[in-house]
Amino acid sequence: ACGSGGGAETGSTGGTITMGFAQVGAESGWRTANTKSIQDEAKTAGIDLKFSDAQQKQENQIKAIRSYIQQKVSVIAFSPVVETGWDTVLLEAKRANIPVILTDRSIDSDDTSLYKTFLGSDFVEEGRKAGDWLVANASGPTNVVELQGTTGAAPAIDRKKGFEEKIASKPDIKVVASQTGDFTRSGGKQVMEAFLKSQPKIDVVYAHNDDMGLGAIEAIKAAGKVPGKDIKIITVDAVKDGMQALANGEINFIVECNPLLGKQLMELAKKVVAGEQVPERVVTEEGTFTQEQAKTVLPQRQY
Ligand code: AHR
């Protein structure tokens, strides 16, 4: 129980924290696991969660954030679908004295006073890990096709950047085509079908997430080629379906991106609402998986 008068300050009644969470969508297995983690951990933490799904559209996320401001929630958390275009709505939250936490994806803004903290992965580092693996495993001229995530999204921009940084040391490795598959399985499949028609020689697919990689596998098989052998595949995430394909030999390497952010998010929310200091950046710890490692960890994989 809070002291008298505390309720108005936290935008809550009876000391219960209300969180408005504006999720990106339900575009991937990763996102499904992330949503579940947030919903489960809010319950465990006794936080009243108002949840919205923006179907990968920035305008929907902005609408959701405005409605949370109107409802005077204690804290707003969101995973921005794209990096830019948030200053106006976040300024509205700031003026309403509602703290904002960024989770999973960050924004590109000069005004860091618009949010309290950012909890999530280092996407550039993920791209570097993918690039490192290819540099270590490629032999001779290697043509790569890249399936990018959602245009303008932090993980798409950063995973491209980190990967390019690493392969720059090997002139034999060339990205011959790069296009967005919007982080979805159907997007990955469609773009890969087009690549298979337009590119005379594809050695490697670098997909910014498992789902697009899984879509590419379908396209490769339909074209009569063997995924993982004729065309090597590198993805990011390490969700169960991706790990299964890795263990089966259809994917060659996966860089982990951890979606289980719920627990840390609720801890940060409690601190922020209480007016305590929090670090401005909390980085998720994650690894990588080879085919052999996938076989070992798959039975215990939670998501
Ligand atoms: O922002 C994280 C990314 O979003 C995941 O890697 C991808 O699967 C999801 O759609």
Question: Which tens digits make up the pLDDT trace of 192-201?
Answer: 999 999 999 9
Which residues lie closer than 8 Å to 113 by C-beta, 6 or more apart?
94
The response to whether residue 180 sits with its C-beta less than 6 Å from ligand 1 reads no
Angle at the Cα of 129 (from 127 to 131), degrees rounded to 5? 70
CA dist 153 and 208 (Å) reads 11
Atom of ligand 1 nearest to the CA of 27: 10
The proportion of the chain whose per-residue pLDDT surpasses 70, expressed as a percent, equals 95
- At 220 the pLDDT is 98
Dihedral sign for Cα 82, 246, 301, 136, please: negative
Give the model confidence (pLDDT) of 117-148 as tens digits.
999 999 999 999 999 999 999 999 999 999 99
End-to-end, the C-alpha distance of the chain in Å comes to: 36
Atom of ligand 1 nearest to the CA of 29: 8
Cβ atoms within 10 Å of 225's Cβ, excluding its own: 13
Tell which one of 126, 237, 241 to mutate to probe ligand 1, the residue whose CB is within 8 A of the most ligand atoms.
Answer: 237
- At 281 the pLDDT is 98
The proportion of the chain whose per-residue pLDDT surpasses 90, expressed as a percent, equals 94
- At 19 the pLDDT is 98
Average pLDDT of the residues of the chain: 95
Q: Averaged over 6-18, what is the pLDDT? A: 59
Give the model confidence (pLDDT) of 45-79 as tens digits.
999 999 999 999 999 999 999 999 999 999 999 99
Atom of ligand 1 nearest to the CA of 239: 8
Are 164 and 146 in contact by the 8 Å Cβ rule? The answer is no
- At 2 the pLDDT is 32
Are 204 and 235 in contact by the 8 Å Cβ rule? The answer is no
Low-confidence winner among 3-12, 21-30, 217-226, 233-242 (lowest mean pLDDT): 3-12
Binning the chain into helix, strand and coil, the percentages to the nearest 5 are 45, 20, 35
Q: Tell me the CA–centroid distance for residue 258 and ligand 1, in Å.
A: 10
Phi (first) and psi of residue 272, to 5 degrees: -60, -45
Low-confidence winner among 35-39, 116-120, 191-195, 297-301 (lowest mean pLDDT): 297-301
Q: Tell me the CA–centroid distance for residue 52 and ligand 1, in Å.
A: 17
Give the model confidence (pLDDT) of 154-175 as tens digits.
999 999 999 999 999 999 999 9
Atom of ligand 1 nearest to the CA of 30: 8
The response to whether residue 182 sits with its C-beta less than 6 Å from ligand 1 reads no
pLDDT at position 8 over 60: no
The response to whether residue 27 sits with its C-beta less than 6 Å from ligand 1 reads yes
Q: Tell me the CA–centroid distance for residue 36 and ligand 1, in Å.
A: 14
The response to whether residue 155 sits with its C-beta less than 6 Å from ligand 1 reads yes
Question: In the 8-state DSSP scheme, what is residue 2?
Answer: P
> pLDDT band at residue 14, thresholds of 50, 70 and 90?
low
Give the model confidence (pLDDT) of 254-276 as tens digits.
999 999 999 999 999 999 999 99
Q: Averaged over 103-111, what is the pLDDT? A: 97
Cβ atoms within 10 Å of 263's Cβ, excluding its own: 14
Dmax over CA atoms of the chain, in Å, equals 72
Q: Which tokens go with 247?
A: 């263990």
- At 15 the pLDDT is 83
